[in-house]
Amino acid sequence: MSLNRKISFAAALVLFVCTGLSPVGRACLHADDAIGTAIDAGTDYLIGQVKAKQVGTRAEGQVALETYALVVSGISINHPVVKRNFDYLFGRLSKSKHTYTLACYIFALDAAISQIEQDLLILAPAKMRVLFKDDPRIGKLYRPYLKKAVENLANIQMAGGGGWNYGPSKDRFDNSNTQFAVLGLGVGVKRNIPINRKVWLKIMDHFVLGQQEKGPEVAERVTMMNPSDIDEWNSKVKLIDGDRKEPDPTGVKKKAGKPRKSDRGRTTVVVTPEDPEVGLEGIKVYSRVFYYRNGGVATWNMTCAGLSSLILARKSLKKKIPNQQLNALNKAVRDGYGWLMTHWKPTGSYYGMYSLEKVGDLGDVKLFEKHDWFKEMSTHLIAQQRVDGSWDGGGAHGEKGEPRIATSFALLVLNRASSLITKNPNSRIIVSGKSNPGESGARDWVFLPSLNTTVHYPSLMRHIRMRPNVKLIKFLENIVDGYPPEFRGELIPDMAKVRDAIRSKSVRSVIDGHLEKITGYDYKEWKSYVKWHRRWERVMMIGMTKKKENVNDLLTYYASTKKSVTLKKAIMWALVQCQSREALALFLEDLDSTHEAIRQAAYGYIKAYFVDFPPPFSASADEGIRKAQAEKVRAWCTAERAKQKVSG
């Protein structure tokens, strides 16, 4: 598809967009750029550890968990470490009946397919995004293994109950194993793998009946995400009897009732809240916990397990739940929320944070009472990350003395990996359908006139760094051209980081060209570009705040800037903003600069010091003509300055 061709894209929201601006006006993708830095450091650590030890020295479930965390973090499925892990798992897990292992294997396989989907959808037309559902042609390598693993997982559910043990069992279950099993089956539903409806009904009954029977009433309430907070999948695009025809692109809500004959076999859009009772006034909420086993210990982790499992059961059974059972399920979820809010301790263990992330993202919960659950957990994780990029093992779910397991859980939380279990890959797309460059409110979203859409620049650069793609590399030209010229320096840090990380000489050459275009000089080391950006950012800060006490710094920068025309022009602008009288002499001197752009800028800024216009000056004229014109300008300025002194 030609990048010069006008394309429209469907809206795709990013869950982590923030509105905080730096002094020069940039916004960030995540709640803080520190999240992206933490993820990068964590993946570097994990890859290093996997390389250092033979894969056979780790249990299959641990290998699957680490692979899942790496793929979700953006590491390519073609990376040697990831490929080796999958080859190892393919050869060992075809007949596995171990619950944790199968579940983590399913998560990793699904993440691999999702990665391929995301890459394909980045430049997809709008109709493909709206219509997107699981396509069996995508990720063919992984699908047979996924189907077999889901079937094996469903088959080891307790015959007489709805729970799971570590493996096949008639009379024992625990809700930790059950939690992982239910999440694995949720992937099966997403991938259209047939699962007997009775399996989900048994899961629902297992948790509804296994919850604490009574508890105290609580005043706390959850706040659900509103439509603007949730990705396309949560607009509840419901596929009915196939998708032979396209849906109404306007997404108009259909009236309830039986479908008309003309609607049968078509895709319709139904917008409904998953749990209409949650948070509404007049509905009583109680604090009721879930247990590890019947009569066992009541814990945070198991309450999260019960909640995420019931939420997935409700999604998977859709509207095929009798009202009485649905009311009991909704009450169990409500009261489970009640227990969490009155026993709030989200950072007790990495497994506990991993479990809460499932509840928050699968349940579309924005706040537990006043607690921004993701902000609290991500802040904690960033603070706890060690220098080598790992997280120290805690005491839950195999974490003790196992930083690789703790690191895997931490990465999954920071990436909000559960959103991939039931949601469309559009939830992670970095292209928006916005056609108005002012809609986004931040320059990180770059409007591309040739595509009539906007692209989130930091996300694009991270994607290129992790998984280089020819089409994405070509996107850079549109972004650099579409970015406000006076602020192009903002593009440097992400672009320089990508340049340093990519091995491909051809890709690096393209990025080098853009870096040179922005800075006005071909630096050989990426650190030089970073240094350039720091100076440029400070210059912009001084110019925007117009602090005259920083004029001496600007004059020093001006004298030392010999290579970058772009940077020197920025310093000129800042000096004028600060009304620096000393700068006029420098501008007059630079009418003889060897750079035409500097000559032109100097003449333009000289005009800012006078009411009347100076004599004409052509920066592109022959040297003899220029010198004569420059002398006339200097003489005129001297005369005007003398008049100003007399009148002053």
Query: What is the Rg, in whole angstroms, of the alpha carbon atoms belonging to the chain?
Result: 30
Domains of the chain: 33-255+263-426 (1.50.10.20)
Residue 310 pLDDT: 96
Maximum average pLDDT range among 7-16, 255-264, 523-532: 523-532
| pLDDT value of position 544 | 92
Could you tell me the pLDDT band of residue 148, with boundaries at 50, 70 and 90?
very high
pLDDT digits (tens, 9 = 90+) for 22-45: 333 333 333 347 888 899 999 999
* pLDDT score, position 230: 46
Q: What is the pLDDT of residue 439?
A: 43
> 244 burial class (0-12, 13-18, 19+ CB within 10 angstroms)?
exposed
* 172-181, 385-394, 446-455, 461-470: least confidently modelled range: 446-455
Q: What is the pLDDT of residue 454?
A: 72
Distances 263 to 132, 276, 482 between C-alpha atoms, Å: 19, 26, 43
H/E element holding 583?
helix 582-589
Query: H helices within 73-125, ranges in order?
Result: 80-92, 99-121
pLDDT exceeds cutoff 70 at 126: no
d(CA 587, CA 579): 13
Average of pLDDT values for 290-310? 87
Per-residue pLDDT at 248 exceeds 70:
no
On the question of pLDDT at 284 being above 80, the answer is: yes
CB 68 within 8 A of CB 411: no
CA distance 534 to 564: 14
Q: What's the pLDDT tens digit per position in 167-215? A: 998 888 999 999 999 999 999 999 999 999 999 999 999 999 999 999 9
* The two three-digit tokens of residue 589, written as one number: 């001197």
Mean pLDDT, residues 78-92 taken together: 94
Residue 322 has pLDDT above 90, yes or no: no
pLDDT of residue 332: 95
pLDDT of the residue at 478: 81
- Angle (CA) 453-459-461 rounded to 5° is 100
Confidence of residue 442 (pLDDT cuts 50, 70, 90): low
Q: How many residues does the chain have?
A: 648
Q: Scan for tokens 């002053």, then name that residue.
A: 648
Report pLDDT for 424: 52
How much is the average pLDDT of 239-267? 34
Mean pLDDT (the chain, rounded): 80
Mean pLDDT of the region 563-568: 91
Contact 54, 39 (CB under 8 A): no
What pLDDT does residue 130 have? 54
* Per-residue pLDDT, 160: 81
Query: Given this model, what pLDDT does residue 219 score?
Result: 92
Q: Mean pLDDT throughout 129-136? A: 67
Residue 347: its pLDDT value, please? 92
pLDDT reading at 280 higher than 80:
no
> Which of 454, 456, 459, 460 lies closest to 437, judged by CA?
454
| Predicted local confidence at residue 202, as pLDDT | 94
Amino acid (1-letter code) at residue 388: D
pLDDT tens-place string over residues 472-520 = 777 788 888 878 888 889 899 888 888 888 877 888 888 889 999 999 8
